[in-house]
Amino acid sequence: MKNNIRALPAIQLIDVCKSYGFAENKVDALKNVNLEIKKGEFLALCGPSGSGKSSLLNVLSGIDQPDAGITLFLNKSLNELHENQLSAVRSRHLGFIFQFFNLIPVLSAFDNVYYPLILNGHFPRKTAQELAWHYLDSVGIRALGDRKPGQLSGGQQQRVAIARALANQPDVVVADEPTGNLDMATGDAILDLLLRINQDTGTTFIISTHSTQLKDRARRVIEIEDGELVSDSIR
C-alpha cells in the first residue's frame, strides 16, 4: 500500500448528533461526534451495549442521516443526498459485514457473492463471475462455492459474507460485530483474514466489536460511551 494514500480521509464526521424518539422517550445516541478516518485504516469501535456503535456506523456509511452535523465520505457531503443517491454511494464504495452473516439461504455461496454484483450493475456477467470466484478463493472457500449457507459452518458463512463485501471492490468495509456469532478460534481466523485483506489491498475497515482479540489487534481503537467518543488510540 502506498503511504501517501493513507493520509487521505475516507470519512469525516463533524459535530454529528443523532437522536431517536421524542420528549421523555428521546435518546441521544450520538452527541457532537467528531471523527476522521483515513484511507487504509483498520479501526475497532468499542463500547458497551447501547453506547452508540451501530448508530455511528449507520451515519458514517450513509445508512442514516444525522440530525445535526456533517458527514463527509471521500470528501463529499452525504447530508444533502436523497435516499437513491445514498444508495448509489453505498453500492459503489461500501461493503458491509454483519454479525449474523445475512446470506440468502436459498442461494449457493457463489450466487450470494455473484448476484449482488449483477444487481449493482457495475460489472458485466463474465467479470462478475470471475470476481465472485476470485474473492471466494481469497477467503479460502472456493471449493465450497456450490453449497448453500445452511450447509456451511458459521466461520465459512462469514467468509462468504466477507467475499460478498469485497467483491464490489469497496473503498471502505463496515463490519458490525463480525466475530460476535463465532467461537474464539473461528473469530481469530476471521480477524486474521480481515487484517490480511487490509494489509494487501489498503481497504479501510471500520469494525464495531465487543471482542478483546479484535481490540488488541486493531491498529486504531476508538471507545464510545453514552454517545460520546471517550478515547482514540493509534498504535
Ligand X SMILES: Nc1ncnc2c1ncn2[C@@H]1O[C@H](COP(=O)(O)OP(=O)(O)OP(=O)(O)O)[C@@H](O)[C@H]1O
Minimum CB separation of residue 131 from ligand X in Å reads: 31
Contact 217, 206 (CB under 8 A): no
Helical axes 154-167 vs 184-201, angle rounded to 10°: 20
Minimum CB separation of residue 150 from ligand X in Å reads: 26
Instruction: Give helix then strand counts, H and E, for the chain.
Output: 8, 10
Minimum CB separation of residue 25 from ligand X in Å reads: 8
Minimum CB separation of residue 20 from ligand X in Å reads: 3
Minimum CB separation of residue 53 from ligand X in Å reads: 4
> Looking at beta carbons only, is 51 or 211 nearer to ligand X?
51
Closest CA to 104 of 95, 113, 96: 113
CA–chain centroid gap for 112, Å, is: 17
Cα dihedral sign for 90, 190, 3, 12? Answer: positive
> Looking at beta carbons only, is 99 or 120 nearer to ligand X?
99
Minimum CB separation of residue 235 from ligand X in Å reads: 23
> Looking at beta carbons only, is 71 or 138 nearer to ligand X?
71
Where do we find the cell 470528501?
75
Q: Retrieve residue 72's grid coordinates.
A: 463527509
Gap between the terminal Cα atoms of the chain = 18
List b or e across 97-136, with b for residues whose CB sees 16 or more CB atoms inside 10 angstroms. Answer: bbbebebeeeebbbbbbbbbbeeeeebeeeebbebbbebb
Distance CA 15, CA 36 (A): 11
- Amino acid 222 reads I
Minimum CB separation of residue 45 from ligand X in Å reads: 9
> Looking at beta carbons only, is 27 or 230 nearer to ligand X?
27
> Looking at beta carbons only, is 45 or 161 nearer to ligand X?
45
> Looking at beta carbons only, is 140 or 180 nearer to ligand X?
180
Rule CB under 6 A: which residues touch ligand X? 20-21, 27, 29, 47, 49-55
> Looking at beta carbons only, is 51 or 61 nearer to ligand X?
51
